Structure 1
Amino acid sequence: MKKWYNKLFLNDIRRAIDDYNMIKENEKIIVGLSGGKDSTLLLFALDLLSKYSHKSFEVIGVHLNCGFDMNIRPLSEFCENRDVKLHIEETNIVEYLDFESNKNPCYLCARLRRGALSRVAKEMQVSKIALGHHMDDAVETFFMNMLYNGKLGSFHPKVYEEEKGVYTIRPLVYVKEKNIMKITEILQLPVIESNCPKDGCTSRQESKNLVNFLENEYPDVREKVVTALSNIDMKNIWKQRRDCW
């Protein structure tokens, strides 16, 4: 394993796994593979850790065919070359999405994909699903929640969904998107372009633009937001109570 892997991404992934106790010995973990750079790097990194870290675990790739007519052959070859199992789940998710109305279909699409992954995990008797959300995603979600919903918070690095009996883990939460892009280019990881008509035209893209703007004045804005999410000043968070008067 190359030494620069540690500095650029593996140390951050190990730290996230340790901070939130994401992976245990002898577990099976499915990685949701969209074909994009984030999930492909996640599979690559977890496969490395499964072979070279002190913990022994198995990684299985799962790609959901949502009906967007994507050529996933490069992804299949990548998994085959790394001796990683790849399961392709056929779905009709695209049939439930309305791209013509003013409503954003991304939320429904994400829910349907999440449900399909949970179903596959149950069928495989796997209790952990790893998703490729990185530091930028966490920060953008924070601003989306605040600006569009008036709510403080972001997704959690590790969450248990009791009704589905599965954990969702996000080992890339400390890895910046620009590092993922750099690694993808250096290692020539396969990246499959999305055929979704809403790609790049969502409220998330607006939040991404905002974070990039803030970075000009506050270069460490991403790190500060991620730190703030686990460093909450509860005494100064407003909490309304009926008996406060």
Structure 2
Amino acid sequence: MDLEKTLLRKVGEAVTKFKMIREGDRVAVGVSGGKDSVTLLEALLLLQRRAPISFKVCAFTIEQGKFLAPIRPYGEWLLSRGVEWHHFEDPPSLRLLEDEPDHGCDLCSRFRRRAVYEVCKDLGVNVIALGHTADDFCESFLRNALFTGALSSLPPVTYSKNKDFRLIRPLVYVPESLTTEFARGLGCPVIPCGCSQKTGTVRRSVRDFLAEMEQDHPRLKDSLLSALGNIKPQRLLDSRYLDPDQDDEELEPAGASPFRIFTES
């Protein structure tokens, strides 16, 4: 399999389908030292050279005190390849780690989001690219369904509260197995985050559950991802979308496929 070709096809599909990047955009990629974000950065740099529109790409890293090794070698690797990289420490996050070492993911996420918006405002960008993969979308869907009672997942495109930034997730169709292989081929130093080592969390439980299920059903995540784009609201229990007078046969268009699997070509 040609990893670069497959990656660009999947990212290109997402960018085009959801209108993620537009003429004149200034895109900042949040890189954490991991395989997903560096794959996203490389994909957008490749698309930048091939796309019919003009847009700029830079990278930034926010230090929250959770990297298990110095991030500098990662940044130096980016700079050596001509990538515009910015590194910021976030004092409130560092104090949070000292004052509340056992704080949860939600609190950390709120601190990170605030820091990201502050950093990107200073960088003068209008688009923030995040490295969530197809796996993250599937896991988020299951977490919400099982633990919050809502059918929802990560949005491929959304906006910050004040509409200052468009937030995009171009790896929505890219499985983590692909980012792992692609990042390995780049030869970049991978800097792990302490959060990735945590066990006993809901996030870890859902990930382990999917991994176990995939041993018998290897295309499970493909089906889940397809389901996120094939919603049938009148087959659910939300009364806002139900028409009690509608015939059951009208709910299924003739010849409609129950789901669409994204396959490798």
> Do structure 1's residue 43 and structure 2's residue 45 form an aligned pair?
no
Work out the CA distance in 1 between the residues paired with 2:53 and 2:190: 28
151 and 160 in structure 1: CA distance in 2 versus 1, 3 angstrom threshold: same
Return the offset for 1:165: 1.7
Return the offset for 1:120: 1.6
> Residue 117 of structure 2 aligns with which residue?
118
65 and 164 in structure 1: CA distance in 2 versus 1, 3 angstrom threshold: farther
Return the offset for 1:95: 2.1
> Residue 261 of structure 2 aligns with which residue?
none
Cα deviation digits, residues 207-231 of structure 1 (max 9, x gap) = 1111112212322111111111121
Identity between Structure 1 and Structure 2 (%): 34
Match for residue 25 of structure 1 among 5, 23, 27: 23
Work out the CA distance in 2 between the residues paired with 1:14 and 1:141: 23
> Do structure 1's residue 167 and structure 2's residue 166 form an aligned pair?
yes
Matched residue type, 2:15: I
Return the offset for 1:164: 5.0
Aligned length: 237
> Do structure 1's residue 94 and structure 2's residue 94 form an aligned pair?
yes
Find the residue that maps to 1:205 and give its secondary structure.
Answer: helix
Return the offset for 1:122: 1.9
What is the TM-score when the length of structure 2 is the normalising length? 0.82
Work out the CA distance in 2 between the residues paired with 1:124 and 1:186: 30
Any stretches of 5+ residues in structure 1 without a counterpart?
none
Find the residue that maps to 2:206 and give its secondary structure.
Answer: helix
Matched residue type, 2:159: Y
Q: Tell whether the 8 Å contact from 2:28 to 2:60 is kept in structure 1 after alignment.
A: yes
Q: Tell whether the 8 Å contact from 2:134 to 2:171 is kept in structure 1 after alignment.
A: yes
Work out the CA distance in 2 between the residues paired with 1:194 and 1:226: 26
Matched residue type, 1:176: P
Return the offset for 1:44: 1.3
Return the offset for 1:73: 2.1
> Residue 205 of structure 2 aligns with which residue?
206
State the superposition RMSD in angstroms.
Answer: 2.1
> Residue 12 of structure 2 aligns with which residue?
14
Work out the CA distance in 2 between the residues paired with 1:186 and 1:119: 33
Higher CA-based Rg:
2
Work out the CA distance in 2 between the residues paired with 1:142 and 1:123: 33
> Residue 140 of structure 1 aligns with which residue?
139
Find the residue that maps to 2:193 and give its secondary structure.
Answer: coil
> Do structure 1's residue 189 and structure 2's residue 188 form an aligned pair?
yes
Any stretches of 5+ residues in structure 2 without a counterpart?
245-265
Alignment of structure 1 residues 31-70 onto 2, 5 Å: 31-68=29-66, 70=69
Q: Tell whether the 8 Å contact from 1:32 to 1:61 is kept in structure 2 after alignment.
A: yes
Cα deviation digits, residues 178-212 of structure 1 (max 9, x gap) = 1111112222122112244x733232111111111
Q: Tell whether the 8 Å contact from 2:78 to 2:85 is kept in structure 1 after alignment.
A: yes
> Residue 224 of structure 2 aligns with which residue?
225
Find the residue that maps to 2:237 and give its secondary structure.
Answer: coil
Matched residue type, 1:99: P
Q: Which runs of 4+ in 1 moved over 3 A?
A: none
Work out the CA distance in 1 between the residues paired with 2:22 and 2:32: 25
Work out the CA distance in 2 between the residues paired with 1:166 and 1:186: 32
Q: Tell whether the 8 Å contact from 1:40 to 1:191 is kept in structure 2 after alignment.
A: no
Find the residue that maps to 1:140 and give its secondary structure.
Answer: helix
Matched residue type, 1:112: F
Q: Which deviates more from structure 2 when the two are superposed, residues 122-131 or residues 11-20?
A: 122-131
Matched residue type, 2:62: L
Find the residue that maps to 1:216 and give its secondary structure.
Answer: helix
What is the TM-score when the length of structure 1 is the normalising length? 0.89
